[in-house]
């Protein structure tokens, strides 16, 4: 089937109590690892491309890689989504350039300005059969070239969501309930430590999610910054020359709970990067004489595939839902 929008996926996910995985893609091996996993477990899929990915790999290369995946995976619905679209022009370029979904992220702007920019993107997107994700509230962490310190992050205000959605006409809404971008999601003083000395983050604000869902019945909610930062991969990186102290993510049980509620899309990027980096670091440590990129990218791709399969089945619950 051709690339699809997220409309049908989200409706089924909302009604079925699961979420669709949105994984960031930057090169061929990442596209292959993710899509082979989704094909094997028969899961719907969102492949997303950030401004940084477009700058790194080039818009056309990424679209063509995703089109190749669509050909290789004819039985699962795949949407191609712009992640954190910074302005109308970038959204327009992606709408005109083959994407089926875009995010306009004006969440750092004042409420009225966020509405104005989002509405403009929605009008253009809907005229072209493309759906729009918007954002209210500010996540901590690093996304593209924007770094938000933990103290500057702010939870979504539930009392604003109805007005925002009705005035903008957006198709889904990303909210801030305590997730955060990157591999260092929380500072040590925001966390406690478990018996192994690993940081335990503060729990997500399910009360905010519940209040938002009550005010927007049937409306798909999105969670960004939802990597779990698997400690096995952090260890693999640190055991093989890396230095990632206190990298910590969102516990998977909390994401599973969110997926059973109104959260229909869960964004995962950093976990893929950790799997790829850990695998490649270990490979070079074990084989200092090797220099063929295929030899180290192959196990990296295989580990991305295993990680994505685990997420689709055990965290998102979307296996078998294609
Ligand atoms: O939220 C941001 C995504 O993880 C994309 O990251 O801007 O480094 O491509 P990036
Ligand atoms: P992570 O950094 O937690 O993987 O979040 C990715 C994301 O939200 C992409 O938009
Ligand atoms: Zn994000």
DSSP string, 232-248: HHHHHHHHTT---TT-B
Please indicate whether residue 101, judged by its CB atom, sits closer than 6 Å to ligand 2: no
For residue 254, being part of any structural domain is answered with: yes
> CA distances (Å), 156 to each of 161, 173, 211, in order?
8, 10, 10
* Atom 1 of ligand 1, residue of closest alpha carbon: 143
Across 66-80, 145-159, 220-234, 268-282, least confident range:
145-159
* Domain membership flag for residue 88: yes
Say how far apart CA 154 and CA 131 lie, in whole Å.
26
pLDDT at 220: 98
Within a domain: 288: yes
Task: Say whether pLDDT at 149 is over 80.
Answer: no
Q: Is the pLDDT of residue 151 over 80?
A: no
d(CA 195, ligand 1 centre) in Å: 32
Cα–Cα distance, 49 to 93 (Å, whole number): 13
**Residue-range definition of the domain harbouring residue 142:** 7-315
> Which ligand 2 atom minimizes the distance to the CA of 180?
3
- Could you tell me the distance, in angstroms and rounded to a whole number, from the CA of residue 147 to the centre of ligand 1? 11
Percentage of residues in the chain having pLDDT higher than 90: 89
Is the confidence at residue 98, as pLDDT, over 80? Answer: yes
Q: Which atom number of ligand 1 is nearest to the Cα of residue 269?
A: 4
Residue whose Cα lies nearest atom 4 of ligand 1: it is 269
**Ligand 1 centroid to residue 49 C-alpha, Å:** 8
With a 6 Å cutoff on the Cβ, whether 228 touches ligand 2 is no
Mean pLDDT of the 1-20 span = 97
CA 228–ligand 2 middle distance (angstroms)? 10
Per the domain annotation, does 1 fall within a domain?
no
pTM of the model: 0.96
In a domain, 191, yes or no: yes
Q: Is residue 321 part of a domain?
A: no
Average pLDDT, integer, range 290-296: 98
Ligand 2 pocket check for 267: Cβ under 6 Å: yes
- In this prediction, residue 144 carries a pLDDT of 67
Residue with the smallest CA separation from ligand 2 atom 3 is 225
What spacing in Å lies between the alpha carbon of 85 and ligand 3's midpoint? 10
Mean pLDDT of 184-192: 89
Does the beta carbon of 269 lie inside 6 Å of ligand 2? Answer: yes
Whole-angstrom distance, CA of residue 176 vs CA of residue 155: 5
Q: Is 85 in the pocket of ligand 2 (CB under 6 A)?
A: no
Higher pLDDT, 147 or 78: 78
Summary mean pLDDT of the chain: 96
pLDDT of residue 139: 87
Q: In the predicted model, what is the mean pLDDT of residues 29-34?
A: 98
Domain count along the chain: 1
User: Which positions are annotated as active-site residues?
Assistant: 83
Helical H segments across the chain, by residue range: 7-16, 28-41, 51-57, 59-72, 88-96, 111-127, 161-168, 206-215, 231-239, 252-260, 270-286, 293-310
In a domain, 2, yes or no: no
Q: What is the pLDDT of residues 217-264, one digit of tens each?
A: 999 999 999 999 999 999 999 999 999 998 999 999 999 999 999 999
Percent above pLDDT 70 for the chain: 98
322 within domain boundaries = no
Residue 155 clears pLDDT 80, i.e. is over it: yes
Identify the CATH number of the domain in which residue 38 sits.
3.20.20.70
Segment 295-299 shows an average pLDDT of 98
For ligand 2, say whether the CB of 81 is within 6 Å of any of its atoms. no
Residue 169 Cβ < 6 Å to ligand 1 = no
Task: Give, using CA atoms, the residue closest to atom 7 of ligand 1.
Answer: 144
Residue 150 has pLDDT above 90, yes or no: no
């Amino acid at each position: 089937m051709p690339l699809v929008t997220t409309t049908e996926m989200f409706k089924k996910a909302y009604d079925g109590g699961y979420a669709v995985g949105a994984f960031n893609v930057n090169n061929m091996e990442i596209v292959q690892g993710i899509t082979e996993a989704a094909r094997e477990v028969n899961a719907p899929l969102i492949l997303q491309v950030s401004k940084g990915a477009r700058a790194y790999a080039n818009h056309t290369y990424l679209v063509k890689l995703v089109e190749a995946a669509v050909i290789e995976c004819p039985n699962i619905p795949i949407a191609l989504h712009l992640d954190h679209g910074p302005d109308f022009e970038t959204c327009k370029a992606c709408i005109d350039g083959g994407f089926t979904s875009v995010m306009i992220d004006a969440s750092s702007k004042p409420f009225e300005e966020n509405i104005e920019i989002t509405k403009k993107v929605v009008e253009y997107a809907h005229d072209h059969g493309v759906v729009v994700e918007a954002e209210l509230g500010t996540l901590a962490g690093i996304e593209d070239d924007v770094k938000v310190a933990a103290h500057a992050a702010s939870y979504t205000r539930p009392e604003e969501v109805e007005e925002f959605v009705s005035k903008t006409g957006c198709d889904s809404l990303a909210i801030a309930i305590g997730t955060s971008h990157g591999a260092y999601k929380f500072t040590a003083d925001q966390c406690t430590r478990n018996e192994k000395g690993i940081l335990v983050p503060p729990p997500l604000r399910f009360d905010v999610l519940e209040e938002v869902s009550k005010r927007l019945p049937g409306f798909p909610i999105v969670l960004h910054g939802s990597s779990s930062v698997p400690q096995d991969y952090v260890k693999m990186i640190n055991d093989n020359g890396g230095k990632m102290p206190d990298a910590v993510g969102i516990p998977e049980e909390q994401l599973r709970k969110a997926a059973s509620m109104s959260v229909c899309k869960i964004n995962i990027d950093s976990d893929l990067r950790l799997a790829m980096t850990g695998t490649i670091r270990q490979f070079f440590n074990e084989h200092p004489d090797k220099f063929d990129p295929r030899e180290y990218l192959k196990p990296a791709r295989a580990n991305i595939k295993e990680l994505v399969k685990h997420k689709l089945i055990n965290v998102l619950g979307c296996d078998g839902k294609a």
